[in-house]
Amino acid sequence: MNTTLGAVTTALSKGSLAAFASGVLASDPEVRRLLDDEVARQRTTIQLIASENFTSEAVMAASASVLTNKYAEGYPGKRYYGGNAVADRVEDLARSRAASLFGAEHANVQPHAGAPANLAAYMALVEPGDTILAMRLDQGGHLTHGSPVSVTGKTYRFVAYGVTPARQDGSGERIDLDLVRDLARRERPQLIVAGTTAYSRIIDPVPFREIADEVGARFMFDAAHPAGLIAAGEHPSPVGVADIVTFTTHKTLRGPRGGAILARADLARAVDAAVFPGLQGGPLEHVIAAKAVAFGEAALPEFKDYAKQVRANAAALAAALSDEGFRIVAGGTDNHLMLVDLRDFDADLTGKTAQDTLDRAGITCNRNQIPDDPRPPFVTSGLRLGTAAETTAGMREPEMATVALLIKRVLRDRENEDALVAIRQEVRELCAAFDPYPGSDPGPLGNPGPGDPGPLGASGPGDLRPGDGLPK
DSSP assignments along 339-354, one per residue: EEE-TTT-TT--HHHH
Write the DSSP assignment of 275-311 as a string of letters: HTTTT-SS--HHHHHHHHHHHHHHTSHHHHHHHHHHH
As a whole number, mean pLDDT of residues 63-81 equals 97
Report the CATH number that the domain containing residue 383 is assigned in CATH: 3.90.1150.10
Rounded-to-integer distance, Cα 261 and Cα 298, Å: 17
444 pLDDT band, cuts 50/70/90, is very low
Rounded-to-integer distance, Cα 303 and Cα 253, Å: 9
Predicted pLDDT of residue 442: 41
Same domain, 183 and 313: no
Rounded-to-integer distance, Cα 396 and Cα 378, Å: 32
Contact, 423 vs 409, CB < 8 A?
yes
In a domain, 446, yes or no: no
Write the DSSP assignment of 123-157 as a string of letters: HHH--TT-EEEEE-GGGT--GGGT-TTSHHHHHSE
**Residue 410: burial class (beta carbons within 10 Å; 0-12, 13-18, 19+):** buried
CA angle, 53 as apex, 49 and 54 as ends, to 5°? 135
Q: Of 320, 243, 249, 339, whose CA–CA distance to 289 is shortest? A: 249
461 pLDDT band, cuts 50/70/90, is very low
Residue 451 predicted with pLDDT over 50: no
Same domain, 228 and 309: no
Same domain, 280 and 319: no
Domain final residue, candidates 275, 298, 321 = 298
Write the DSSP assignment of 182-249 as a string of letters: HHHHHH--SEEEE--SS--S---HHHHHHHHHHHT-EEEEE-TTTHHHHHTTSS---BTTBSEEEEES
As a whole number, mean pLDDT of residues 268-274 equals 98
As a whole number, mean pLDDT of residues 228-254 equals 98
440 pLDDT band, cuts 50/70/90, is low
Query: Structural domain tally of the chain?
Result: 2
Which range marks the domain in which residue 120 is found? 68-298
468 pLDDT band, cuts 50/70/90, is very low
17 pLDDT band, cuts 50/70/90, is low
In a domain, 4, yes or no: no
Same domain, 256 and 227: yes
In a domain, 55, yes or no: no
Domain final residue, candidates 273, 298, 323 = 298
Residues with a known catalytic role: 71, 73, 222, 248, 251, 257
Higher pLDDT, 13 or 368: 368
Same domain, 351 and 416: yes
Q: Which amino acid is located at 432 in the chain?
A: A
Same domain, 289 and 308: no
Tell me whether strands 106-108 and 259-263 are parallel, antiparallel or unpaired: antiparallel
Residue 322 predicted with pLDDT over 90: yes
In a domain, 464, yes or no: no
Predicted pLDDT of residue 15: 45
Same domain, 286 and 308: no
Predicted pLDDT of residue 464: 28
Rounded-to-integer distance, Cα 219 and Cα 132, Å: 10
Strand partners, 247: 260
Report the 10 Å Cβ neighbour count for 83.
11
Report the CATH number that the domain containing residue 191 is assigned in CATH: 3.40.640.10
The rounded percent of the chain whose pLDDT value lies above 70 is 88
Same domain, 185 and 230: yes
In a domain, 50, yes or no: no
Residue-wise pLDDT tens digits, 163-205: 999 999 999 999 999 999 999 999 999 999 999 999 999 999 9
Report the 10 Å Cβ neighbour count for 344.
12
Same domain, 196 and 332: no
Contact, 387 vs 400, CB < 8 A?
yes
The rounded percent of the chain whose pLDDT value lies above 90 is 85
Same domain, 183 and 104: yes
Same domain, 287 and 325: no
Same domain, 257 and 399: no
Mean pLDDT taken over the chain: 90
As a whole number, mean pLDDT of residues 1-7 equals 39
In a domain, 458, yes or no: no
Query: Residue 2 contacts by C-beta under 8 Å, 6 or more apart in sequence?
Result: none
Predicted pLDDT of residue 24: 60
In a domain, 48, yes or no: no
As a whole number, mean pLDDT of residues 321-343 equals 98
Residue 463 predicted with pLDDT over 60: no
In a domain, 408, yes or no: yes
